[in-house]
Structure formats: C-alpha cells, structure tokens
Structure 1
Amino acid sequence: MSTVITHKQFPNHKIFKTEIAGRPFSIEVGKTAELANAAALVRYGDTTVHVAICVSPRPRDGVDFFPLSVDFEEKLYAVGRIPGSFMRREGRPSLPAVLASRLIDRPIRPLFPYDFRNDVCITCTVMSVDYDCSPEVTAMIGVSACLSYSEIPFAGPIGCLEVGYCDGEIVFNPTQEQRKTSRMDVTVAATEKKVVMIEAGADQIPDDIMYEGIVKAHEEIKKQVAFINDIVAQIGKPKMEYDHADFNQELFDKIVDKYMDEAKAAMDTDDKNIREQRWNAMIDKWHEDYLEEYPEMDKYLEEFTYKFQKKIVKAWLLQGHRVDGRAKNEIRPLSAEVGVLPKVHGSGLFTRGQTQVLSVATLNTLAAAQKLDTIWEEEEKRYMHHYNFPPYSVGEAKAPRSTNRREYGHGALAERALVPVLPSVDEFPYAIRVVSEVLSSNGSTSQGSICGSTLALMDAGVPIKAPVAGISCGLIQDD
C-alpha cells in the first residue's frame, strides 16, 4: 500500500494502492470531478471506472424514502467499439448496466441513516475494461471508498468480491478463462463484521461449497475494508449535519398504546385484502381520535403503518408466530398447472397462497437470439426471461407503464436460476423466451416466476436437466 502526491495544480491529488486477488488495485482522488462531493478514478488491472457522488444540501420535500440513485454507465470506447445505434452513441442503459446499478445499490442503501432524505446521486462510468477484472467489483469498491471519505453519512465501508469454483477450488475474482468453466458465480459484499449482500448463481454445486466460498470471501473483504479505512484516516471529511426526517413520536406512541390489540387482530389473517381493509378501518379511528389535536397527522400515516406493523410482526416472529399463522419453516399452499393457454408453445400457472404467476415459453430459431451491444464479451444470448409486474397484481388502480429496473432485475434473477439446467445449443438449437406475468402478489413473485417458468419450459418440450424451484427466506434478530 502506498500514497503518491503529484502536481501543484492538484494539491489534494493522492493515489492509494493495494492488491485484490493478486491483481493491482488503486483509488485516485483529488484530480477529477472536483465539484462533486466525492470522486475517484478507480483502477483494477486495466479496468478503469470513474466514480462521482453528489449530495443535495437540503432534504427533498414531501418524501418518506431515501432518494438514492445509482447509475452504472457503459461507454463502448472502453472496449474499443463504436455503438451500433443509428446515432452511433450510447442510449438507454443496457440490461447488464441496469443489473450492475442494482448490484451496487443493494449493499449500500441499508447503510445510510433511516431518516436521511437528501438526494444522493452516484455515477459510475466505465472507461476501460480488462475482462480479467470485473467493472462491477471495481465500481462497488470505489463507491464504498468515496462514500466513506465524503461528508455523506454512511455506516460503511464495504468491500466486494466475486467468487468462482474451478477445478475443485474456490477462486476470488475469477479471470476471463476461469469464468468459462466456473460452476459458481457469486458476488459477496460485506462490512468488516457482516455480509450485507449475496448475488449468486451456480451449476448445482453442494451447499457446503457455497457456504465456504462466502465465508472465505468475507475474510478477504476485511482487507479491502482496512484499505478504505486507511484512505478515510488520511483524507476523510467530517460527516455533514442534516435535517432529520420529521416524525411525530408522541402521536405514534399514543396510537400504539391505544390500538395495539386492535392492530394485532387486524394483522392476524392470511388474506392480504382482509388485512388491508381492517387496517384502513383502524386508520379512520385514528383520524377520529387525533386529527383535531394533530392536523398534520396524514403525512405520518404511511410511516406509522410501517413501524407499527414491523413492531407486531417482529414480536410475533421471535415468539415463533407468523402473520398468517404459519410456522417459521412452513410454506403457503401450492398449486401448479400446465397447458393453460391453448395456442402458445408452453405455459405454466404457479400459485402460492395469494401469489400467482403465469409463465409462458416461446421457441424460435437461433436467429431470434437477443443481440447485445454492451461492454461485456457476450454478443448474443439464446435464453431470455422477461418479468412483468402490473399494478393490478397488488390491487393498485394505476395504468401499466414501461419496464422498470425492478422488473429487469427479477427477470434476470429467474433467468440466472434456469440457465444452468437448459440443454446445450447442440442438444437443443433453439432460442427460448419465457415471460412471467405476475397476476397476484403477496410476496416472493420472483421465486414464483422460477417455479412457473420450470413448468412452462417442460410444457414446451424443452429437455431441461432438472426442475428448478425458488423460495425466499429472511432473518429476524432480537437486537
């Protein structure tokens, strides 16, 4: 690890160096984007990503969420290519870029203060690509470093590693050649003490190998965290004071004290519609009791509902009781049906409780494979999985809009689960598209999409190696 101070024009210019998985890694600050709150030129091997972060000086008015945006921008000059669009310039983010943005967002979002409402915009621009050194890993570590040394409140730093499994060995940040044979593709992000994100795909490997890979990755990530802490010790700025999101604790405590029993009764059902009807009726009573004394109470209602329900659900779970009466390891009633649509190649309807997904498979020649114009090597893919989540699936009176990032992400999640069991091109020389239509959502629609898509593929006659099912799980701690 070393530090270099350069030209007088950039008095704050420093370069911090280390190694990650045996390859050189550096973070260069104080030379680019000086008007941003934090910026760095991050290099891993020959991969170069510019990270810039800006924070608004005041909170955004009228929002009850943290307005964080993360954009991972691919520049095709990074791989010596000219964009294939008519205008020959980059347009909307590609699917891999959207997924990379979500990958970076996921581990950092929980580490900001709960009551922080200032806009934070993170831009990661990929300027050069070495296929042996992941741009996503480079960007995530750079973002962690910039947030940590900036004035933005952030409970980091975090580190990141990709984990592969080649020739019976666990490898970190596998090279281009190793990725071709790796049976495991896992991205782990963690703080010094705890893992905060796991993004995983695998080719039917044993559970103990997956666990070993995650544990070993965390030990290696601790070195990255120490590296970033050293940067903060040298150039870290004092954390900014910010206006905490308004919350009426006095009114909330009154509501909890008076309505706890009624709230528990409202929550204790496996029917989402009944639960919402009971809760809305109880909110009407809150208005009757407190609106005159607290005329601005409506702006707190959504957060009151979240905190109140969280308090009840957590207490029940720690007692071994769930909202719908299930045991902790019990799943909802399942049903599955194939051939539900007469003219399509394959279809499957999967229902779990009040979550329902209809998946439809379509086959075509390889000429219908998706053509990709990205910084990644892959130029086309034969299997495409698309996920649609219309507003009616959660009972919202809204018109459907264009595909959002969440829908892209859930489609990619299901795609990643099914790709390892697809037959090879030689065995099955067809392009495959599966569309998962969420008809009703009461949790875990992405996993329902995996189950429904397995049904649709088998109904279409695709000789998959094994059926795939998905299930979501959570961890509740008494802390």
Structure 2
Amino acid sequence: MPNFNHNFDIQSVEVTVGRDTIKLETGLIAKQADGAVVASMGDTRILATAVSTKEQKPGISDFTPLTVNYKERTYAAGKIPGGFFKREGKPSKKETLSSRIIDRTMRPIFPEGFACETNVTAMVVSADPNNDAEILAVLASSASVVISSIPFNEPVAAVRIGRINGEYIVNPTKEEQALPECDMDLTIAGSAQGILMVEGGAKEVEEESIIKAMEVAKPEIDKMCAAQLRLRELAGKPKFEYVVEKLPQEVVDLANGSFREEAKKILHAFSDKQTRDLQVAQLKKTFTDQLTEQYGDNAAIYAGIALENIMYEESRNLVLHEGVRVDGRKPTEIRPLSSLVGYLPRAHGSAVFTRGQTQSLAVATLGTKDDQQMVEGLEDTSYERFMLHYNFPGFATGECKPDRSPGRREIGHGELARRALLPLIPSEEEFPYTIRVVSDITESNGSSSMASVCGGSLALFDAGVPMKSPCSGIAMGAISGEGKFVVLSDIMGLEDHLGDMDFKLTGSRKGITAFQMDVKLKTGMPLDVLRQAIKQATEGRMFIMDHMEKTIAQPRKDVSPYAPVIYKMQISVDKIGAVIGPGGKNIKRITETTGTKIDIEENGVVTIAAANAEKLTQAKAEIEMLTAEPEVNKIYKGKVVSIQPFGAFVEILPGKDGLLHISEIAKHRINKVEDVLKLGEIVEVKCVEIDNNGKVRLSRKALLK
C-alpha cells in the first residue's frame, strides 16, 4: 500500500483501445515538469514529460524548436546494461526511430509561429514484452503537452495495426507480429481531425489495405484523444501566451511589388535547382540592399523570409492554377531516370541510380554469419542478417559542412529503405549470406530515400542475391487550396518543403512493402486524396520498375568472385564434438590450415565460409573425414596406433580405429606383428566387418596380390 507523506493530487483516466485498457495518470511523478503523464498498458509504463522555455526565440521562424527523446531504461526489463560503464549510452536505433515517430506526429500540431524551445521526453520505465512501448509513448508524450501550459492545438495518438489472415488487429502483441501469417505492421498516428503520420512495412500487400488500416485505426485514435481532453479537464494548466514576430508591413508590400514578379519569372524560366537557387540568391541580395538602410542587420533575414513566402505561394499557385510544377513537369510526371550496375569492379554488387538531380551510389556486400548485426533490445537480443545504411554527405547538395556520424534523419531513411527491401530478401536457407547495402547519396534534390530503395535493389541484383522481385520506391506530395487537392508524383526538394504531404511508397509488382507518410495539414489528409495518391504512386512505381528491369532484369546467376564462398552441410548432432575436438583443437586446425570460417549450430548445421572454392573444398573434406563412419568393403589408409600380441589397431578415420588381427596382416603366417608393421606406419587396409557394438575388423591380407 502507498505510504504518502505528501499531499499528491493524483488524477487519472482510462480508455479501452482494441483489446487493451490504457491508463493515463498525472500528479505523482515529475511534478516540477510543466506536464508529466504516466501511461500504462499491461505492465508497460511510460513516463512522459514536457518542458518549455516560455520565451520565443528571437527573430522570425516557421520552425518549431521541438526536441523529442524516447529512452528505454534497461531496468524496465530487469536488466543491467552491458559494456564497461554499466549504464545507458548513446541512443539505440530503436530509440532514435521511436523519437522520430513521436516528433513527426506532434510537430504539425504546434501553433504556427510558436518558437519557444520545447523538450518532450518519453521514458520506458517498465517493459511488458506483450505491449508496445512505442505506441504508448506517442500517447503519453501528447498527453504531457496537452495538460501542460505549452500551447498545443489538440491531442494526438497512435496505434499499431497488424493483419493476420486478412483480419486487422489493433496493437498486436509481439508474438502476433512474429507470425508468418502477419503480413502488415503499420504505426498510424493522428488527431481527432485526421491521420497525420503513417510508418510501417508489409509483405507485398494490396494498395487498398493501407486505406483500410487507416480506417480501422481512426476510431481508436479518436478515443485516446478524447481521454487526453478528459485528463486536461481534471489536471490541465492554462496555456501561456506568446508573441509571434512578423515581417514589417513595409517589407511585405515591397516584396509583393516588383519582387513578386521577378520571383515568378525565375520560377517559370529556370527548372534546374542550382540555376534557380542562384537566381533567387541574386534577387535576395538586391532585396537586401534595398532594406539595409532601414533594417540594418535584419535586412537579409527579412528579405530571405519574404522571398521564401513568395516562392512558396507562387509555386503552389503554379500547380493549382496551371497544373504545372516548378521544374515544368505535369503532376503525374516522373523525373528523367538513369541507372547502371557493376560500377565498382571490386565491390560484390554496385549500382548508380539517378532520378532528376537525386542520385544514389548503392553498394551491396556479402558476408558471413559472423557479420550479422547484434541488436540488444529491452526484452531480448536479436541479429540482423540484412542491413541497409544511408549516408547523406554535405556535397550532395553542394554544401560545405562537417562530416559527422549519422543523425536521426539518416538512420530513419536507412531503416525505411531496409524495410522496403527486407520482405524480398531470400531466407538464410536459400542464400546463407549476411547482406549489407550502403546507399551514399551523391546528389540530392528530394526523394533520396526512394533512390536508395531503387539503387539498393539494383545493387542486390548485381551482387547475385536471388531476391523474390525487384523493388521500386516513389515519394508523393500534395498541394491543397481553393477547395481542391493536386497529388504530385516523384516530388523534388522544393515540393517537399512547400507541399502539404510527404508520402513514400515502396514495393514489388505484386504489392506494397513499405509505407511512410507525413501530413502537414492539421486536419489530416482526406482518404479519397490518399487513395488517389496510392493509385498514382503505383503507376509511378511501375514506370520506374520498367526502367530498372531494362538495366538488370534478373539477379546475376553467381555471386562476385570477390565475395566469400559459403556452403552449408548437415552433420549428426553426436558428431559435433568430433568436429570441434578437445578444447576446440580440430576446428582450430581446420580453420587455420584452410583459412576458412566455420560455424556449427546446435542442430548440426555446419556453415563454411571460404575465400575461394578450393579452400572450401579442403575444409569440407576435413569435416567429412571427422564425421565419417566406417563402411564395410571400403579401403582406407590408416595409421598404426597400437601393436598388441594378437594384432594391431589402425586409425582409419579421425578418432576411429579398427582391429587388424595378426592373421589378416599377411598372406603367410607371421609370429610377431612387429615383423611386418611398425608403430606410426601408414598402412592400406580394408574394412571387412562392423559388429553390433560398432567394433571394426580390418584386413591387410585381402588387398595383397
């Protein structure tokens, strides 16, 4: 029972979501945070807190200074961290991806112009393997801001949707997600007004199933949003006020005069990003010069914001009124495509995929089981056999910036591309290699993650990975206004920035493998618009896939000569000890003499990895010798290991010897074994009998003429 010496004002609400009951509680933990909520589902507990500076950052900005951190405490699962320091270190990939999901869900809901530094932290403090901490963290994070004094337009929430044998399941358990029949895993987030964010993967599912999953998710999201409003009624704080700095009216008027016309001319005349950016920079300088006398150091800032607003408005008007995009394309048109494979002669597989001004140098590398990525989770440790790493250097956009370790964006884009290709990767039984794909973005003007999917698929084909199908990806956008929506195929960087949606779809000809959507509209995106976007995306993907198949239609028959040669063989479980030898003596000798890597599983599956076929054959022969059983009528070359008055014992196989009776040594009668044989001598013998006890009887005489 609680033993409180404090007067805690604990308030809570409950809501049923799918098959689970979720509880939101505030007033006990972290009371000095502006907002703090503990969300519970089963034995999973998330502590989410929200704090803000309550002071607007100086200047004009359309960027919300929001920082979201999702953290998994190992004590939540009753574990002590590994490593020397025995404490949590840098964020894991899972923590980074979950932080991004919370951020992408909440960011569109903050009021326009809100520029107070805001931190939201979601900590997993108790982990139940059956209940999804990430989904609960989205809810808890939103609730912590909803009850705080931080301005926030409305609650948001998320659910996970799985599909097993055609049935859609809200928040499936880990066991259900792992079932082979589960062909969909989507995280869907939104507000009472609409769907804002979707992230997930699937096993080549039909397009309409994504819309159906959203329809299943929406009522559950609504219930969680309503629960947060109930909690706010019980424990909410008044929202603090803030002042949004705006452009001086004189600057707006000047921009809307001659500079708007100049901006429109640039948009119509220059479809190339670099040329257009250069022209805009020159226009900005002219504008800044006119403002400097009156506004001093703020002149360049005001000029940049005013011109950006004009470019935003005019680019959207171009699409809405004329059906033409900034680069001259129609809404459904794909940028020019180029691709080649085998670009890097020593790599196991490589491809260069270019779409417009976005380019990926994708490289596939094949490795052994030792190369698998160990992933330490809260509940268990797993291994990734297929990895995809995405890199975005500054030179890809012509920028001079320091080269740092991968950030959240790079990790997120890499995971999206990995998820896209994963369902098409052959099983370990079919293809016993560990596979790593690296996508180095060498040029970028939008949709670089989708270029990574296309380039990665080509590189895997070039490496001889027997994929089930090629995989293509496309990024879609949408622009709304005057009561209509225009869906854009294959968006470039400017369209990503000025549009109302960023929607990425990947898959094979059969169906969808990965899906990611972020909507900037606070009302969400209407489902009929999403249907059109999915249909348009599928048409675009097929066009891209046609191009890819002209470059390489099938995976290469053989892997690269520079890739390791891997062979799997089955031995009897009771022979594992014989292969390993006392203290690992045998396996160490084989690996050292042949230069191979050998992995033996508990079920007797032996995997041999060698630099070439000759070394592999040598190692395989050694293992076969160690595991072989004597066969009657088979001739062996054996070593005399013991001499007795009645005969000699000859080792015909490693660890297996037989009796060569004195009467079977020669055709003539001999009195002493030593007259014919010496200890350590190699002698050719024939196996003539194996009795019921496994004892082997040999004959030398049977081989003599």
Structure 1 Cα separation of the partners of residues 190 and 288 of structure 2: 43
**Contact map agreement 1:6 1:13 (CA 8 A) in 2:** no
Structure 1 Cα separation of the partners of residues 307 and 436 of structure 2: 40
Name which of structure 1's ranges 216-225 and 466-475 shifts more when overlaid on structure 2. 216-225
Paired residue secondary structure (1:350): strand
Structure 2 Cα separation of the partners of residues 25 and 388 of structure 1: 39
Paired residue secondary structure (1:450): helix
Following superposition, the deviation at residue 376 of structure 1 comes to 5.1
Query: Gaps spanning 5+ residues in structure 1: where?
Result: none
Counterpart for residue 275 of structure 2: 274
Following superposition, the deviation at residue 18 of structure 1 comes to 1.9
Counterpart for residue 86 of structure 2: 88
Paired residue secondary structure (1:229): helix
Counterpart for residue 366 of structure 1: 369
Aligned-residue RMSD, C-alpha: 1.7
Structure 1 Cα separation of the partners of residues 208 and 171 of structure 2: 20
Q: Higher strand fraction: Structure 1 or Structure 2?
A: 2
Structure 1 Cα separation of the partners of residues 428 and 380 of structure 2: 18
Counterpart for residue 209 of structure 1: 209
Paired residue secondary structure (1:470): strand
Counterpart for residue 189 of structure 1: 189
Say if 1:382 and 1:70 are closer, same or farther in 2 by CA, change over 3 A.
same
Counterpart for residue 49 of structure 2: 52
Paired residue secondary structure (1:203): strand
Paired residue secondary structure (1:209): helix
- Give me the TM-score of the superposition, normalised by structure 1: 0.96
Following superposition, the deviation at residue 298 of structure 1 comes to 1.8
Paired residue secondary structure (1:340): coil
Match of 2:430 among 427, 431, 436: 427
Paired residue secondary structure (1:473): strand
Task: Give the counterpart letter for 1:282 in structure 2.
Answer: L
Counterpart for residue 639 of structure 2: none
Structure 1 Cα separation of the partners of residues 375 and 84 of structure 2: 15
Structure 1 Cα separation of the partners of residues 378 and 308 of structure 2: 41
1:344 equivalent in alignment to 2:347: yes
Say if 1:180 and 1:289 are closer, same or farther in 2 by CA, change over 3 A.
same
Task: Give the counterpart letter for 2:51 in structure 1.
Answer: C
Task: Give the counterpart letter for 2:227 in structure 1.
Answer: F
Paired residue secondary structure (1:58): strand
Structure 1 Cα separation of the partners of residues 424 and 190 of structure 2: 30
Counterpart for residue 122 of structure 1: 120
Counterpart for residue 229 of structure 2: 229
Structure 2 Cα separation of the partners of residues 210 and 299 of structure 1: 43
Task: Give the counterpart letter for 1:129 in structure 2.
Answer: A
Counterpart for residue 312 of structure 1: 314
Structure 1 Cα separation of the partners of residues 256 and 450 of structure 2: 34
1:438 equivalent in alignment to 2:431: no
- 1:131-152, Cα deviation, whole Å (9 max, x unpaired): 2211111110011111111111
Following superposition, the deviation at residue 85 of structure 1 comes to 1.4
Match of 1:36 among 14, 33, 37: 33
Name which of structure 1's ranges 97-106 and 213-222 shifts more when overlaid on structure 2. 213-222
Structure 1 Cα separation of the partners of residues 314 and 320 of structure 2: 10
Task: Give the counterpart letter for 1:73 in structure 2.
Answer: K
Greater relative contact order (Cα 8 A, min sep 6): structure 1 or 2? 1
Name which of structure 1's ranges 125-134 and 327-336 shifts more when overlaid on structure 2. 125-134
Counterpart for residue 294 of structure 1: 295
**Contact map agreement 1:360 1:456 (CA 8 A) in 2:** yes
**Contact map agreement 2:457 2:470 (CA 8 A) in 1:** yes
Following superposition, the deviation at residue 434 of structure 1 comes to 0.6
Say if 1:260 and 1:47 are closer, same or farther in 2 by CA, change over 3 A.
same
Following superposition, the deviation at residue 304 of structure 1 comes to 2.4
- Give me the TM-score of the superposition, normalised by structure 2: 0.66
Pairwise mapping of residues 378-397 of structure 1 onto structure 2 (< 5 A)? 378-397=381-400
Say if 1:6 and 1:353 are closer, same or farther in 2 by CA, change over 3 A.
farther
Following superposition, the deviation at residue 253 of structure 1 comes to 3.0
1:449 equivalent in alignment to 2:447: no
Task: Give the counterpart letter for 1:291 in structure 2.
Answer: T
Name which of structure 1's ranges 81-90 and 54-63 shifts more when overlaid on structure 2. 54-63
Task: Give the counterpart letter for 2:243 in structure 1.
Answer: D
Following superposition, the deviation at residue 14 of structure 1 comes to 1.3
Following superposition, the deviation at residue 262 of structure 1 comes to 1.1
**Contact map agreement 2:74 2:81 (CA 8 A) in 1:** yes
Say if 1:301 and 1:133 are closer, same or farther in 2 by CA, change over 3 A.
farther
How many aligned positions are there?
475
Percent same amino acid at aligned positions? Answer: 38
Task: Give the counterpart letter for 1:221 in structure 2.
Answer: I
**Contact map agreement 2:392 2:410 (CA 8 A) in 1:** yes
- 1:411-464, Cα deviation, whole Å (9 max, x unpaired): 011011011110111111211111100001011100000000000111111111
- 1:367-394, Cα deviation, whole Å (9 max, x unpaired): 1101112225452111111111011111
Structure 2 Cα separation of the partners of residues 305 and 9 of structure 1: 56
Name which of structure 1's ranges 204-213 and 99-108 shifts more when overlaid on structure 2. 204-213
Counterpart for residue 245 of structure 1: 245
Structure 2 Cα separation of the partners of residues 63 and 359 of structure 1: 39
**Contact map agreement 2:201 2:419 (CA 8 A) in 1:** yes
Match of 2:466 among 455, 463, 466: 463
**Contact map agreement 2:287 2:303 (CA 8 A) in 1:** no
Paired residue secondary structure (1:457): helix
Following superposition, the deviation at residue 328 of structure 1 comes to 0.4
Structure 1 Cα separation of the partners of residues 3 and 140 of structure 2: 20
Following superposition, the deviation at residue 476 of structure 1 comes to 1.1
Paired residue secondary structure (2:346): coil
Name which of structure 1's ranges 463-472 and 370-379 shifts more when overlaid on structure 2. 370-379
Following superposition, the deviation at residue 62 of structure 1 comes to 5.5
Task: Give the counterpart letter for 2:155 in structure 1.
Answer: P
Structure 1 Cα separation of the partners of residues 162 and 254 of structure 2: 53
Task: Give the counterpart letter for 2:122 in structure 1.
Answer: C
Name which of structure 1's ranges 18-27 and 28-37 shifts more when overlaid on structure 2. 18-27
**Contact map agreement 2:15 2:223 (CA 8 A) in 1:** no
Name which of structure 1's ranges 243-252 and 76-85 shifts more when overlaid on structure 2. 243-252
Give the number of the structure whose alpha-carbon radius of gyration is greater.
2
**Contact map agreement 2:54 2:240 (CA 8 A) in 1:** no
Paired residue secondary structure (2:205): coil
**Contact map agreement 1:163 1:170 (CA 8 A) in 2:** yes
Name which of structure 1's ranges 256-265 and 171-180 shifts more when overlaid on structure 2. 256-265
Structure 2 Cα separation of the partners of residues 22 and 161 of structure 1: 12
Structure 2 Cα separation of the partners of residues 337 and 154 of structure 1: 48
Name which of structure 1's ranges 229-238 and 84-93 shifts more when overlaid on structure 2. 229-238
Structure 2 Cα separation of the partners of residues 63 and 6 of structure 1: 50
Query: Gaps spanning 5+ residues in structure 2: where?
Result: 483-705
Structure 2 Cα separation of the partners of residues 348 and 197 of structure 1: 31
